[in-house]
């Protein structure tokens, strides 16, 4: 054994460099630890992935429902039946008064004769129509409201139109749209609630894993504290373990959602076609998958932080 050599080399570095270095080490050490126990780590990540996949799938379904609802809304139109004694000139004048309104995008006047021809074409009974003594149909206006109007706005507009002189009847059913909107709102709340619960579930799953990790590393944490490592130094690898497990879990969740939507795509696209919805069934997409990974990572960080906060102070050197 040789005697100690005199001091040589550089001392501790400035706080910022030290801090960065601690983080770099903690990040890679915790990743190595997770890889050293692949089965256990995969288990945790899958549990987190499943917990996050459910609200993510609901959210993506919601996006599709909103696309459909928006699509239907833009096709909404009012039919204004004029009173029988209003002639075609009167109908045109009424139409002109509507053109200055912001909430009306387009308006067309339909002559009663054209309407009868269209009616005859629709039912295929030209003879019957030809034999009519007089045209029972009034002149009418087809009114396309601005696409940005909500069901409530449409209701208000219908009220306004009904009060206009010369208009016999406003044909527009806003009720089903209101119902659709209410259903979507309910679905939004459900997604939000399930989302909060499931993220909480993921936090608890990870928290438990990290608590077990702390127990397994009790000796190491004790030694670290004895030789001058602070709570921060002992906590950092745990935070990274939480971050990695959560982020990988979130990514697994995104894959699960992608698989689910891939199996749903064909039948739902057919449904879209049947309802003449000009859109494709869309999943989370890359940005959604990235967001889910980030949510997982944040959940992991949160759970690691809170677990470490509670359990690390309990470990004190004896």
Residues contributing to the site for another protein (CB under 8 A):
1-13, 15, 17-19, 21-22, 25, 219-220, 222-231, 233, 316-318
Q: Based on CB atoms, which residue is closest to another protein, 195 or 229?
A: 229
Q: Based on CB atoms, which residue is closest to another protein, 197 or 216?
A: 216
**How many CB atoms sit inside 10 A of residue 216's CB?**
10
- Please, are residues 112 and 86 in contact by the beta-carbon 8 Å criterion? no
184 closest CA partner among 308, 277, 71, 52: 71
Smallest gap from Cβ 230 to another protein, in A, equals 4
Smallest gap from Cβ 304 to another protein, in A, equals 19
Q: Based on CB atoms, which residue is closest to another protein, 21 or 87?
A: 21
The three-class DSSP label of residue 147 is: coil
Q: Based on CB atoms, which residue is closest to another protein, 16 or 39?
A: 16
User: 167 pairs with which residues across the strands?
Assistant: 82
Q: Based on CB atoms, which residue is closest to another protein, 10 or 274?
A: 10
Take residue 210 and report the two structure tokens written for it: 């990290």
CA distance 153 to 156: 5
Q: Based on CB atoms, which residue is closest to another protein, 230 or 285?
A: 230
Smallest gap from Cβ 209 to another protein, in A, equals 17
CA distance 292 to 281: 19
Smallest gap from Cβ 236 to another protein, in A, equals 11
CA distance 206 to 193: 20
Smallest gap from Cβ 2 to another protein, in A, equals 6
Smallest gap from Cβ 234 to another protein, in A, equals 9
Residue 38 exposure: Cα atoms within 13 Å on the Cβ side: 0
Q: Based on CB atoms, which residue is closest to another protein, 148 or 316?
A: 316
Residues across the chain? 318
SS (H, E, C) 196-261: HHHHHHHHHHHHHHHHHHHHHCHHHHHHHHHCCCCHHHHHHHHHHHHHHHHHHHHHHHHHHHHHHH
């Amino acid at each position: 054994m040789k005697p100690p050599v005199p001091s040589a080399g550089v001392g501790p570095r400035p706080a910022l460099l030290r801090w960065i270095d601690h983080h770099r080490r903690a990040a890679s050490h915790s990743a190595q630890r997770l890889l050293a126990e692949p089965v256990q780590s995969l288990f945790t990540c899958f549990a987190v992935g499943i917990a996050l996949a459910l609200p993510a799938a609901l959210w993506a379904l919601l996006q599709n429902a909103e696309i459909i609802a928006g699509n239907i809304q833009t096709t909404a139109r009012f039919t204004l039946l004029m009173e029988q004694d209003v002639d075609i000139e009167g109908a045109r004048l009424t139409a002109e008064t509507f053109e200055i309104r912001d909430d009306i995008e387009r308006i067309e006047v339909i002559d009663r004769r054209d309407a009868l021809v269209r009616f005859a074409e629709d039912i295929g009974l030209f003879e019957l129509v030809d034999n009519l003594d007089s045209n029972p149909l009034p002149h009418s206006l087809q009114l396309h409201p601005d696409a940005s109007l909500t069901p409530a706005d449409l209701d208000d507009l219908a009220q306004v139109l009904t009060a206009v002189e010369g208009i016999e009847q406003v044909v527009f059913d806003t009720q089903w749209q209101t119902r659709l909107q209410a259903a979507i709102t309910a679905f939004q709340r459900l997604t939000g609630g399930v989302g909060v619960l499931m993220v909480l579930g993921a936090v608890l799953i990870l928290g438990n894993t990290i608590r077990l990790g702390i127990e397994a590393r009790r000796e190491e944490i004790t030694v670290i504290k004895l030789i001058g490592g602070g709570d921060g130094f002992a906590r950092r690898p745990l935070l990274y373990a939480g971050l990695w497990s959560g982020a990988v879990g979130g990514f697994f969740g995104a894959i699960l959602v992608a698989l689910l939507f891939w199996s749903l795509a064909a039948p739902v696209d057919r449904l879209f076609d049947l309802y003449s919805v000009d859109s494709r069934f869309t999943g989370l997409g890359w940005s959604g998958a990235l967001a889910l990974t980030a949510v997982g990572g944040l959940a992991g960080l949160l759970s690691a932080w809170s677990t470490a906060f509670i359990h690390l102070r309990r470990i004190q050197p004896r």
